[in-house]
Each structure stands twice: as structure tokens, then as C-alpha cells.
Amino acid sequence: MADGFESESRKLLGRLRDTMAEEAAGQARLDKITHLTADSMGTEVCSIYLFRDDETLELCATEGLNPDAVHQTRMRLGEGLVGRVARFGKIVNTADAPQAKGFRYMPETGEEIYSSFLGVPIQRLGEKLGVLVVQSKEAREFTPDEIYALEVVAMVLAEMTELGVFVGEGAALTARHTQPALLRGTTGQEGTAEGHVWLHEPRVVVTNLVADDPERERERLTEAVEALRISVDELLADASGDSEQAQVLQAYRMFANSKGWMRRMEEDISRGLSAEAAVEKEQSQARARMNQVTDAYLRERLQDLDDLSNRLLRNLTGQGRETGADMPDDPILIARNIGPGELLDYGRKLRGIVLEEGSVGSHAAIVARALAIPLVIHAGRITNEALNGDHIMVDGDQGVVHLRPDDTVVSAFREKIAMQAKALERYASIRDTPCVAACGTRVELHMNAGLMADLPSLTSSGAEGVGLFRTELQFLVRNQMPRRTELAALYARVLDAALGRRVVFRTLDIGSDKVLPYMKPNDEPNPALGWRAIRVGLDKPGVLRMQLQALLRAADGRPLSVMFPFVAQFEEFRKARAEMEKALEREKILGHAIPETLEVGAMLETPSLAFAPQQFFEEVQFLSIGGNDLKQFFFAADRENERVRRRYDTLNVSFLTFLEGIVDRCRDTGTRLSFCGEDAGRPIEAICLAAIGLHSLSMRPASIGPVKHLLMRVKLGEVRAVIDEARDQGHQSVRGPVMNFLRDKI
Ligand code: PEP
Ligand code: MG
């Protein structure tokens, strides 16, 4: 019986393929498909409903229902049985449709006479396109074989829709990937960009869906899977030392050897699909599941399966990453996710980046920030929607992406870019002017950096030096621990590029969100409060010592400034400084040049350090407030957690009062103090920080212009008076009063 069914199924698919091969308009093709399907399945009705917009389905073709209802009958997502199939992406199979939950009677279609109903979603790679329905008068449930057959037809329909076979009149039959789309995501890096789409992983398009010779297709599939297994095994052998990569590859191997996966694809082939269509059908179902799964581990596994399917599809269709397309001059990179190394390979040629996944603290986001490339993350279905070469506008400030924007959006967006460009011109004109507030107070503005690629910004931004050089980026973007000589060469190049300006190197700050790909991850319940930064450096001093040596060698007699991250108590600083002293002694013994001057400082990132003994403030040569961490610990609000990370204002009176306490202690001991968290780069925050006595700020290079522009127009004493008054009046945050003051005064 199964054999009989398989040949029926193959026959239907063969007829579908012939229909596609005929020259016909989109509507005629859809009509033919409903006719063929109803005929082959022995049902009185077959109907195709497609989305005309995100919320509305439209009856686009029918065999058996009233033909006048075509393009007239519409339903909202979730409405009626068809809407239910669409909303949940799940099959509805009932012998008594009028009694089924959610049934909605559509008089114009004349459907009340039909009792049985089978609806399957039409979806491609997790994206919902419509619903395919068969109905019959006889009250019966459809068999698993029949359901399966209808699913295969739905899959073919989805592919054909993607290929633009059904294009016709009306919104439901418009060609895909031609309409403007607005995608909302989250800001990964601020800034705006206009350009054209460059897909990191070009989509594989399956054009031959149906095959006559199942034996041959099975062979093709087996060969492709075998080749894949071998390549995964080879990769695994290479990745033996690299635990994270090895884990992913193990998962690949598990899928490549999975009998269930293989069996389902072979069944699809028996029923008439080509090998690649069978792979894509599995992939589509995995994607649909992925959209519903919230468990992080399971999502990752489904993603592994998705990646594996992509590899197989490339193998079977011969479509590689190299599609022959030329990268546009103004590329906006689109990817589901991307590693920091791959992103660095693209480098500064990218105008913008849009990711379907990612997180604010991901390594890719860190690199995008370092390269100052606008980045939007969590941008819904962008990899399904965008085609290479599409016009695209990325608003990193708002976390919004306009794909194929219409004229009004284009002109509004360009206006915004033009205004930003004007502001940039203004900033350029003051670039080489030292930052002196209107009251005459000098405020030093430095930049944060972490990559060689950042260094040209020293000149273009007018920064006075590098207030924070995050050394971990060099460790994060590699596949293995860098060697001392490599690091020394790199740090030397940083110092060369700084042309004598001060560079403050921060020793390795790993742990928490920054996990090195080649180090065993620690399963910690609260990584932000865990074994990180200087704690790792002191417990396992090998890397710290190697890094300190590299820094001393790089200085090669020049002045050197080094600070330790995340120091929570005096003792930690003393121990870390002792490591530096030992390294210095060793260099002397080896006869190497030692720095002309050596400053050793600490980052103040935990509230505890603000209350350290007087001796600490006397001994430490400089302090830099890491506002990002300090704020998260002050308010007990995770900086990575979207729900809480913006909940508390930096200009909250309690936080400012706390910062003032640190300023006072440093003033008493004459300790050099600066602030290098993200808030230093926000103009309003920056003037308030300066007003309470923080006269050295370090920020992203792009922020220096706007911060300087505002600082030069305010008298810090006046801002201070506004802050004090707001505090006296019991305000929670000084933001409102300071904004009012700026509005009135400037
Ligand atoms: C900070 O915590 O403010 C800081 C500058 O360090 P990072 O953002 O690298 O943790
Ligand atoms: Mg920090």
C-alpha cells in the first residue's frame, strides 16, 4: 500500500512539475495546481491561501469552492481554521470542520457542505507564506499518507513562490523580495548607513524539486551525506584542541549519522522529491521548530542542523559561497550571526551590519563597535527577506532596518544622514582644538580602542591619547592563544601609531561575557560576578606574566601605562603590581630596555574599591572608572540584560553622589582619575561627569566630536549648580533639570 501511495505521490509531483514547465500566468498555474491536487487526492476541494500582508490571508485559487470568492475571501491570521493553520504553522485535520474549534463560516465560498478539512502550512525556511487546504463532503480524517502528500505539495508551492512562479495581480501574488520591508531589531552599534545588501551566506536556491528516478536521487543524497561526514571528521581531527568548535562539529556528526534524519529524506525522495528538495524540506521544518523553541541549547542544536543542511544543499546543487556576485561598493553585511574573525576579515569596507541573531555583548558586536560600523542585531527575518544587491538603510541609533525602502523613507533617511554629516563637519572644525569648557576648565578627551584598526581614529577624532586599550580583543578574535612575540609586536605597533600620545593598556579582561574560544568555558551561575579579569590573572598568572612581558618589550624604552581590570580590593592590586615588578626585574636581568616611565593603575569597576584604604589611593598611580561595570554593580542591574540595562539612569543622583565620593578621595591623595565607560561618550552624561570633577574622559572615537562640542559651550560651575539643586530638591535623576538648563542656556 505504501508503494502504491508513493507512486501516486510521484505521479502528482510529476504533474506539478509539468505544470510549472508550461508557459502560463501565475494565476493559471495556481488554478492548475488546485485542480491536480484535488484530483489526485480524491477530494472535492483544494484551495490555496496566500498572505497578502503579514496579518491577512487571501484565497488565491480553488477547485471546488465558489470561483467568485477567489481574491475576495480574506481572513486574518488566527481567524477560522485556515487562519489557525497559518498562525501556529501546524496541520489541522478534522472530519467535522463546522464543529471544529475556531471554524468560521464563509458564506461566499459555499464551504458549509464540506465536512472534512485538512490544512497544511505553506512555509519556506521557517517563513510563513500561506495555507494549502483540501476538503471533502465525506466525514473522515485524512490518513498520515495523505497528510504527507499534501505537505510535499505545500513545500513545492513554497519553493515555487520563492522562485516567482505565481506572480500575478494583487498584493497576495506580488513577487517576493520586491516590496519595501521594515525590520525592527536592537541597536548593536549606533550610526546610520545606506548601501546595498551583501549576504554573508548566499541562499541556495533549489530549482529542481521533483525527480523521476528515486534510486538516482537516493544515491546522490547518500554520496553527499558521505562526503559531508568525511569533511566533518577531518575538521574534527583538526579541531581537537578547540573545544567549542569541536562541540559544534560533534553535533554536525551526530546529525550526519542520524538515521531518523536520513530516513525522512529518503522517504521524501521515494515520494518524488529531488535529493536537494528533500534536504530543504527537512531544513524548513527544523527552521519552523527553531522559531518556536526558546530553550537556548535546543535552539543551538537546531541551528547546527540548519548549518548542516546548508552545507548539504551547497554540495548537492553545486552552489558555493562564491556565487560570482560582486560585492557592492557600499556593502551592508547581512548574516544570521557572524564570528569576530570573519567580521575583521571584511574590515572597514562594510558600511553597516545587520544580524538576525547576536547580542549586544557578543564578540562580533565588540568588533563592530571597535570598527565604528553601525550594527543592528535581532533583525527578524532579514536573511530570508534580503537579496544580494537590495537597497538597504540601517538605522543603528533606532535599531531599525529599511529594506528596499520607498522614496519617502529614502528622503527622510538621507536627511538624517545629511544632518549627521553637517554635525561631523562642525566637529571636524574643532578637532585639533584642546577641549576647554566655557568656564576655562580643561577636560582631557581620550579614546577607547582594542584593535590596530582603531588607531587611525586617534588622528581623525582628535583624541589626546588612548584612555583604554582593551587587550582582550586580540585574544578573542583568534583561534588560539597569541604568542608573546606576536603580542609584543602588536603593542609596539600601537605605540608607534600613537606617536608619543599616552596609551593605557588594560591587561586581559576575560570571563563574564568575554569567553576565549580556545579556553575551557567555566560553567558559572553568575559569570559577571565570577572568575574573570584580574581574578583569572592572579589565580593562573601564566598569561598575565606573558602579557606584561610583551608590554615591556613593546615599550622598548618608551613610556608605558598599564592598568588591571576589575580590581575589587587593595590586595589584588598589590599582587598584580608585584607581577609587574617581577617582570620588570626580569627584563633588566635579560638586558632589555625598560620603559622610560612606567605607570601602573587600576580600573575601578566594583563599588568596593571606592572604599579601599587610604593607602590604596596613595599607591595606585592612576585610576580609571569602568562605568559600564561599576554601574551594573551599583544598581545590581545586568548590563547585558535588555530588560534591566537601561532601567537606571547614569545621571541618577545616587550614582553621581557615589562618583563624587571617588573624585574627592582621588583629589585628597592626588591620584590621577579618569572615566572610560560608554557613558563618557554621551554628551549630556559627559558634561555632568566633568561638572562633578571628572576631567579626563575616554570614549569611542566617534563620540569625541559631539562631547567636545557641548563641553566647550558650557560653564561647568553652572552645570554643577543645576546638579546640586536637583539633588537638594529630591530629584531621582538630574537629567531633566540639566536638559532644561541646556535648552535655556544654549
Ligand atoms: C567598563 O566596565 O566600563 C569598561 C570600560 O570595561 P568593559 O566595558 O570592557 O567591561
Ligand atoms: Mg569593565
At 605, is the secondary structure helix, strand, or coil?
Answer: coil
Q: How far is CA 216 from CA 220, 261, 272, in A?
A: 6, 19, 11
- For atom 1 of ligand 1, the residue with the nearest CA is 626
State the distance from the centre of ligand 1 to the C-alpha of 607, rounded, in angstroms: 14
Percent with pLDDT over 70 in the chain: 95
Contact 56, 68 (CB under 8 A): no
pLDDT at 321: 62
- Ligand 1 in reach of 626 Cβ (< 6 A): yes
Integer CA distances (angstroms), 252 to 239, 383, 592, in order: 13, 22, 50
Percent of the chain with pLDDT over 90: 58
* Segment 489-525, tens digit of pLDDT: 999 999 999 999 999 999 999 876 677 766 776 778 8
**Residue 698, beta-bridge partner list:** 446
At 297, which helix (H) or strand (E)?
Answer: helix 296-317
Report whether residue 513 contacts ligand 1, using a CB cutoff of 6 Å.
no
Q: Which three cell numbers stand for residue 269?
A: 525522495
C-alpha 648 to ligand 2 mean position (Å): 18
Q: What is the pLDDT of residues 255-305, one digit of tens each?
A: 778 888 889 899 889 888 999 999 988 888 877 777 777 776 777 777 777
535, 676, 694, 699, best to mutate for ligand 1 pocket (most atoms within 8 Å of CB):
676
| CA distances to 17, 156, 259, 640 from 150, in Å | 15, 10, 24, 45
Nearest CA to ligand 1 atom 8: 628
Give, for ligand 1, the residue of 605, 625, 632, 674 to mutate: max count of ligand atoms closer than 8 Å to Cβ: 605
Tell me if 676 CB under 6 Å of ligand 1.
Answer: yes
Q: Does any ligand 1 atom lie closer than 6 A to the CB of residue 356?
A: no
Strand partners, 436: 442
Average pLDDT over residues 571-576: 98
Cα within 13 Å of Cα(554), Cβ side: 26
pLDDT in tens, 656-710: 999 999 999 999 999 999 999 999 999 999 999 999 999 999 998 889 999 999 9
Using CA atoms, how far apart are residues 99 and 684, in angstroms rounded to an integer?
62
200 annotated active-site: no
Give how far Cα 100 sits from Cα of 94, 148, 204, 425, Å.
7, 21, 39, 66
Cα 3 to averaged position of ligand 1 atoms, centre (Å): 65
* Calpha distance 224→80 (Å, rounded): 43
The x, y and z cell numbers of residue 501, run together, are 600620545
Check pLDDT > 50 for residue 352.
yes
Please tell me if the CB atom of residue 287 comes closer than 6 angstroms to any atom of ligand 1.
no
User: pLDDT digits over 439-456, tens only?
Assistant: 999 999 999 998 887 888
Mean pLDDT of 410-434: 91
Beta-carbon count within 10 A of 585 CB: 11
DSSP string for 42-110: T-SEEEEEEEEETTEEEEEEEESS-GGGTTT-EEETTSHHHHHHHHHT--EEES-GGGSTT----GGGT
- Give the helix/strand (H/E) hosting 157: helix 144-162
358: CA distance to ligand 2 center in Å?
Answer: 20
Per-residue pLDDT at 168: 84
Question: Does residue 182 surpass a pLDDT of 90?
Answer: yes
Q: What is the mean pLDDT of residues 54-68?
A: 93
Give phi and psi for 638, each to the nearest 5: -55, 125
Report d(CA 513, CA 515) in Å as an integer.
6
Flag the least confident range among 148-152, 168-172, 577-581: 168-172
Mean pLDDT of the 27-31 span: 91
For residue 566, the ligand closest to its alpha carbon is 2
Q: Is the CB of 511 under 6 A from ligand 1?
A: no
Which spans in 319-397 are helix H? 340-346, 363-370, 382-385
Judged by its nearest atom, the ligand closest to the C-alpha of residue 468 is 1
Which residue is catalytic, options 46, 60, 666, 676? 676
**Exposed/middle/buried for residue 414 (C-beta within 10 Å: 0-12, 13-18, 19+):** middle
363 is catalytic: yes
- Indicate whether residue 470 lines ligand 1 (CB < 6 A): yes
Cβ–ligand 1 contact at 280 (below 6 Å) = no
| Dist. CA 456 → ligand 1 center (Å) | 22
Pocket test for ligand 1, best of 509, 628, 682 (most atoms within 8 A of CB): 628
- Ligand 1 atom closest to the Cα of residue 566 is 2
C-beta separation of 175 from 26 below 8 A: no
Residue with cell 589626546: 464
The pTM of this model reads 0.71
Which protein residue's CA is at the shortest distance from atom 4 of ligand 1?
Answer: 626
Separation of CA 628 and ligand 1 centre (Å): 5
pLDDT band per the 50, 70, 90 thresholds, residue 1: very low
pLDDT at 742: 97
Question: Residue 551 is placed in which grid cell?
Answer: 608590554
Q: Which ligand is nearest to the CA of 624?
A: 1
Of the listed ranges 160-174, 637-651, 689-703, the least confidently predicted one is 160-174
Nearest protein Cα to ligand 1, atom 9: 470
Q: Which of 363, 378, 402, 446 is catalytic?
A: 363
**Nearest ligand 1 atom, CA 628:** 3
Q: How far apart are CA 491 and CA 497, in angstroms?
A: 10
* pLDDT band at 239; cut points 50, 70, 90: low
CA-676 nearest atom, ligand 1 = 5
Ligand 1 neighbour 509 (Cβ under 6 A): yes
Tell me which of 629, 662, 676 to substitute to probe ligand 1's pocket, judged by most ligand atoms within 8 Å of the beta carbon: 629
Distance 366 CA to ligand 2 centre (A): 13
Ligand 1 atom at minimal distance to the Cα of residue 626: 3
114 alpha carbon – ligand 2 mean position (Å): 66
Q: Is the CB of 268 under 6 A from ligand 1?
A: no
188 C-beta closer than 6 A to ligand 1: no
Helix axes 701-711, 407-429, angle to 10 degrees: 70
The verdict on the CB of residue 450 being under 6 Å from ligand 1 is no
Q: Is 677 near ligand 1, meaning CB less than 6 Å away?
A: yes
Cα 355 to ligand 1 centre (Å): 23
Q: Per-residue pLDDT averaged across 28-37, rounded?
A: 93
For residue 627, the ligand 1 atom closest to its alpha carbon is 3
Give the whole-angstrom CA distance, residue 354 versus residue 336: 8
Question: How far is residue 726 from each of residues 274, 459, 649, 729, measured CA to CA in Å?
Answer: 71, 38, 14, 5
Beta strand 503-506 with 466-470 is parallel
Ligand whose nearest atom lies closest to the CA of 625: 1
Q: How far is the C-alpha of 482 from the C-alpha of 719, rounded, in Å? A: 47
Span 541-549, mean pLDDT? Answer: 96
Ligand 1 centroid, distance to 390 Cα (angstroms) = 37
Across 25-31, average pLDDT: 90
Indicate whether residue 281 lines ligand 1 (CB < 6 A).
no
* 44 CA to centre of ligand 2 in angstroms: 67
Please check the confidence at residue 359 and state whether its pLDDT lies above 80.
no
Lowest mean pLDDT among 26-35, 308-317, 347-356: 308-317
